[in-house]
Amino acid sequence: MRENEEISNITLYEMLEQSVSKWSKNEAISYHGEIWTYTQLKNQVDSFAAGLQKAGIKKGERIALILSNCPQYVVAYFGILAIGGVVVQINPMFTKREIQYIVSDCAAETIIASDSLTPIIKTIQAETTIKNIISVSIKSSASSDIVKHSYESIIKAGSSLFEPVMLNPKEDLAVIQYTGGTTGRSKGVMLTHRNLVANIEQHNMILKETMIPGVEKVLTVIPLFHVYGMTICMNLGILQGSCLILLPKFHLEEVLNTIKWEKPTRFAGVPTMYTALNNHPEAEKFGLNSIKLCHSGSSPLPGEVMDEFERKTGAEISESYGLSEAAPGVLCTPSYIKRKNGSVGIPLPYTEAKILDLATGLYEADIGVAGELVIRGPQIMKGYWNMPKETEASLKDGWLYTGDIAKKDSDGFYYIVDRKKDLIIASGYNVYPREVEEVLYEHPSILEAVVVGIKDDYRGETVKAVIVLKEGKYLTKDELTIHCQKYLSPYKVPKVVDIRETLPKTSVGKILRRTLKE
């Protein structure tokens, strides 16, 4: 990183404008055979922005966006930002109750959603602040009479000109990203334009030696409503003038066929996706070697899974660490530094990190000693929406207290040990689930594994392993115990083993540890 590099003080819409000026004729989006150039994308964004203004939407309004990956998502996202609106991203698989909570919490008056969701939204309209429903039909024009607008009508109502809005990138919100709510009530993370642009440029700084601007093709199957997909796929891709190959969901055969025909060069996934690709018997026949750089995030990637995927594809996996409160990137291994297996790398440019002792949280822990990870940088959130106490507890003197347990080695590389709240205390000893899971994944019969602590009258807590076996494989508890005893202290060896056909997962593919524990 050169000393004179600085984070741009621009909005996300201005970032899009810059990319369009450089790569106007380049492919921006590929969606089931439909191609949009950067010029076509911007024209749609501008028309949508103008249409929103004509519908009476003003700067600062929160607008709920409830769509799967599609071109309309990208248009709506940047169209909202262009007029100073705040994007509130919501998982389209959420229940009526979950949608109602978020919409009510942020007081959104406008919802942009697929037409299949409009009946559900209509049922909560009277109990919320919703005034406008913009229906998006991916395959056919909207016909429901319960919506006030359709996506098409907003585009037609607008033009390529919309009324410019004055924004302060450092202060004005771009996105309210709701956390998963696994540790309590879901919180709205307030991210400014500056937060998001900073994180996009931070990733660009450390990965640019492996990526050619205006050339890359990004396989985008991670949901864009997830902070990881939003930043690493959509926004970083647009900054680099890449083509976003959009897929609405991870279906293994569809992903493999898309790789075969589209030949993406960059892919962002989660551990369960890499596991699925590894275990397809003919994965190599689909041309996986077109991918030269992969990202893994959302949850730790087991070393065995990473090594097997890289052996099969020749691609390099960049494992990183992040969280919604940091837009999300914090730690990553730059392309110009040799990766250390098991490590999530070093702090991104302009990011500071330190490990505080678990006992008091007042002192920096020694090298190699686990403690709470705290971070500071331009990507750190402004705070939690309407939650001053929670904001005060998480943000102290500019430092974000992550609640994650990590350690640092003598070379400055960081290792995520576990979530502070997932720590298992068995007979007074600390057991970190990730350490046990790494050992479980080394067993040749295990496809997926997660470890939780369960109540034990004698030990306080005991270790339980919930596993899914590879097809055609068989494993007894005694065999698993023998395997674990080779690599783990006795108190870390799972005392309870539950073999299942599937594990509960989020829409991104992250295993729901908290659901299993509950």
314 falls within a domain: no
Amino acid letter, residue 468: V
Would you give the distance in Å from CA 317 to the centre of its chain?
16
CA angle 473-476-478, nearest 5°?
145
Top-confidence residue, 500 or 459: 500
CA dist., res. 364 & res. 71, Å (int): 46
CA dist., res. 154 & res. 165, Å (int): 19
Domain end among 191, 226, 261: 191
Extract the tokens encoding 182: 């696994």
In the prediction, which pLDDT does 139 show?
59
468 falls within a domain: yes
488 falls within a domain: yes
SS3 call for 472: coil
Longest dimension (CA), the chain: 70
CATH code (residue 446): 3.30.300.30
- Separation in Å, CA 216 to CA 24, 152, 270, 320, 431: 15, 30, 20, 20, 42
pLDDT tens digits, 362-393: 999 999 999 999 999 999 999 999 999 999 99
CA dist., res. 147 & res. 189, Å (int): 29
Amino acid letter, residue 461: E
Q: Which of 46-50, 96-100, 391-395, 442-446 has the lowest mean pLDDT?
A: 96-100
Residue 226 phi, psi dihedral angles, 5° rounding:
-90, 140
| Average pLDDT of the residues in 400-407 | 93
114 falls within a domain: yes
| Average pLDDT of the residues in 161-169 | 94
Confidence band, pLDDT 50/70/90 cuts, at residue 158: confident
Edge to edge, what strands does the sheet with 27-31 contain? 34-37, 27-31, 243-246, 217-220, 266-269, 293-296, 316-322, 329-332, 346-347
pLDDT tens digits, 310-335: 988 888 898 899 999 999 999 998 88
Residues shown for the chain: 518
The DSSP secondary structure of 344-411, one letter per residue, reads -BEEPTT-EEEEE-TTTSSSBPPTT--EEEEEESTTS-SEETT-HHHHHHHEETTEEEEEEEEEE-TT
269 falls within a domain: no
CATH code (residue 22): 3.40.50.980
198 falls within a domain: no
Are the beta carbons of 52 and 79 closer than 8 angstroms? yes
CA dist., res. 107 & res. 129, Å (int): 6
If you count DSSP H runs as helices and E runs as strands, how many of each does the chain have, helices first?
16, 27
Instruction: Find out whether the peptide bond into 92 is cis, omega within 30 degrees of 0.
Output: no
Three-state helix/strand/coil letters over 135-174: EECCCCCCCCCCCCEEHHHHHHHCCCCCCCCCCCCCCCEE
SS3 call for 103: helix
Count of structural domains, the chain: 2
Domain end among 134, 167, 191: 191
In the prediction, which pLDDT does 182 show?
40
Range of the domain at 487: 423-517
Domain end among 191, 223, 239: 191
200 falls within a domain: no
Percent of the chain with pLDDT over 90: 69
Q: Which of 35-39, 43-47, 467-471, 513-517 has the lowest mean pLDDT?
A: 513-517
pLDDT tens digits, 265-312: 999 998 888 989 999 989 889 999 999 999 988 777 888 889 999 988
pLDDT tens digits, 136-152: 987 533 333 323 588 88
Averaged pLDDT score across all residues of the chain: 90
CA dist., res. 414 & res. 407, Å (int): 6
Residue 460 phi, psi dihedral angles, 5° rounding:
85, -65
52 falls within a domain: yes
430 pLDDT more than 80: no
| Average pLDDT of the residues in 230-253 | 97
Please, which residues bridge with residue 294 across strands? 267, 317
CA dist., res. 67 & res. 135, Å (int): 10
CA dist., res. 280 & res. 276, Å (int): 6
80 pLDDT more than 90: yes
